Amino acid sequence: MVGKTTKQIILTCMAVLLALSPLLAAENPVITLDLLPTMTYKANDDTWSDDSTVADLTLTLASKREGNVRGEVVLKGNPSTASFDDLVHKAYFKARFPSFRLTGGKTRLTWGDGMLFNAADVLYGSNTTSVSLTQAVLRSETEWLASINYPLGFFSFAEAVVMPSKTNTPSDMLFGVRYYTTVKDIKVELGYASLKPEKTVREHKPYISLQGNLGFDWYVSSSVAIPVAGDIAKESRESWVVSGGIFHLVTLPLDRSLTLRLEFLTRPFGKWETGPVKDNDAALLLYPELALAYSPSLSFSLRSIISPLDLSARSTLGVSWNIFDAFNLIGNISLATGDEGDLFAWITTDPSKPTLPDPTKPASLSVTVGSSWIF
Q: Rounded to the nearest 5 degrees, what angle is found at the Cα of 308, between the Cα atoms of 267 and 111?
A: 40
CB-CB contact of 306 with 292 (8 Å):
no
pLDDT in tens, 6-43: 445 444 444 444 444 444 445 568 888 888 888 888 77
- Listed residue (87, 78, 84) closest to 5, CA to CA: 78
User: Which residue type occupies 152?
Assistant: L
Summarised one tens digit per residue, pLDDT across range 131-167 is 989 888 899 899 999 999 999 988 899 999 999 987 7
Give the predicted TM-score (pTM) of the model. Answer: 0.87
Structure confidence at residue 337 (pLDDT): 92
pLDDT digits (tens, 9 = 90+) for 87-120: 888 889 999 999 999 999 999 999 999 999 999 9
Q: Confirm if 166 and 198 have CB atoms less than 8 A apart.
A: yes
Beta carbons of 334 and 366 less than 8 angstroms apart: yes
